Amino acid sequence: MAALLRLKCGVAAMPIHSTKAFEVGDWLKTFSFGARRSSDDDSVVAFLQDLSRAILKHKEARAFPDLMTFGYFCRKASIAKVRAALSDLHNRSGWGTVIHIAPSNIPVNFAFSLLMGMVAGNSNIVRMPTRAFAQMELMVRLFDEVAAQPQHAGFGSETAFVQSDRDSPQLNALIAQAQGLVVWGGDSTVERFRSLPKHPRCVEAYFPNRVSSALLSAQAVLEIEETALLSLCLNFYNDTYLVDQNACSSPNLIFWQGNQSQCEAARNRFWDALDQYLGKTYELDPVARIERSLNVMALADASQGAVQVDSNYEDIWRLTDDTLRTQKLRFGMFLEVDIKDLEQIPPMLRKNEQTLTTFGVDPETVFDTLKSNLSGIDRIVPVGRALDMGLDWDGRQMLSLFSRKTQVG
């Protein structure tokens, strides 16, 4: 089983190599460093299909929308669609071992990163968050169970889940040997890993700090029925509150499209409905509440003045000073901007803008209208799909990047 860790009492623990075990390095004796497969190896698809079944049928997994999303994504049909994007897949294989540095604040991001490496044909070492997430532990446990099945022999030795210190000598040594490196994290994290010695042909992908926005049609919000409004609240919640807006694709800047009276009425209806939804489903950690207040104080300092926050709601903090759009907004903090036309959006976007979610406005229409001015936008998707991940991310085709093409003939 992949990276199975057992306590002295013999009871199976979380199947991730602890920081201490990682540094000792005994796990490397059973890990197939440098192993790779053909990118059209159907045994990878079969493994992911069984992993999908294990996730989707597990009762505990149903409590985690992000884990369920991953379960749906790694179905056979989804992977087939991804592989079909490369017509020369039969001439491709993995580079070898890819090391993935997962972000500390997005529970299931590590699984999508791992999937990128597996589908391309690589063996993978995943440096996991040290923070305990229930869905993360469940995902790794289910992965181990599937990898232990006889028909999937090999995947256990080609996959390792580890934890390490920030400046781990063992991790740095492995990165110097690995054929690939994927880093998810803040700008400082990216710069640190960029500076490390690498294999001469190491393939690298870095995903630094990004920010995202949402575009809501005021008219659409005013016209929808109550059931559709509830669905909008659920989708918006999944994009934002589910991860406390820590995901780079979670919007913190909200564009309301319409005239002044429409935007005001739509805002009231939407935020009132979302507030009721949050009252039934959301509970912000007390430490995060304190951090949110400290963030507001920092915003006030950054803007050299008082920051006005709408206090009508407990966990919806609305800002209107557009000079704050470059500041970090989390834990239910949103900057709202009214617009009449789509052409007003580009000047308001940040340099590191990633995703624009839309409601009541077709993403294709937004792209066609603004494509000459959307240099920083990588995704335009409906509200509710901000956290959907695939093998195309931040403008890169990861399956192509992390597979090696052999020219034949």
> Which of residues 209, 235, 261 is at a domain's end?
209
For residue 149, is pLDDT > 70?
Answer: yes
Instruction: Note whether 287 and 189 are same-domain residues.
Output: no
More confident residue, 194 or 246: 194
Encode the chain in three state secondary structure. CCCCCECCCCCECCCCECHHHHHHCHHHHCCCCCCECECCCHHHHHHHHHHHHHHHCCCHHHHCHHHHHHHHHCCHHHHHHHHCCCCCHHHEEECCEEEEECCCCCCCHHHHHHHHHHHHCEEEEEECCCCCCHHHHHHHHHHHHHHCCHHHCCCCCCEEEECCCCCCHHHHHHHHHCCEEEEECCHHHHHHHHCCCCCCCCEEEEECCCEEEEEEEHHHHHHCCHHHHHHHHHHHHHHCHHHCCCCCCCEEEEEEECCHHHHHHHHHHHHHHHHHHHHHHCCCCHHHHHHHHHHHHHHHHHCCCCCCCCCCCCCCEEECCHHHCCCCCCCCEEEEEEECCHHHCHHHCCCCEEEEEEECCCHHHHHHHHHHHCCCCCEEEECCCCCCCCCEECCEEHHHHCEEECCCC
Position 392 in a domain: no
The enclosing domain of 276 has a CATH number of 3.40.309.10
Instruction: Show the domain range for 340.
Output: 211-382
Say if residue 149 is in the same domain as residue 40: yes
Q: Is residue 7 part of a domain?
A: no
Residue 393 lies in a domain: no
Is 32 among the domain residues? yes
Mean pLDDT of the region 75-92: 89
Same-domain status, 199 and 229? no
Residue 342 lies in a domain: yes
Based on the fold, state whether residues 219 and 202 are members of the same structural domain: no
Both 128 and 244 in a single domain? no
Over 80: is that where the pLDDT of 26 sits?
A: yes
Q: Is 23 inside any structural domain? A: yes
Task: Tell me, yes or no, whether 87 lies in a domain.
Answer: yes
Q: Are residues 224 and 329 in the same domain?
A: yes
pLDDT in tens, 352-376: 888 999 999 999 999 998 888 776 7
Query: Does 94 share its domain with 242?
Result: no
- Domain total of the chain: 2
pLDDT band at 342 (very low <50, low <70, confident <90, very high): very high
pLDDT tens for 199-223 read 999 999 998 888 899 999 999 999 9
In a domain, 70, yes or no: yes
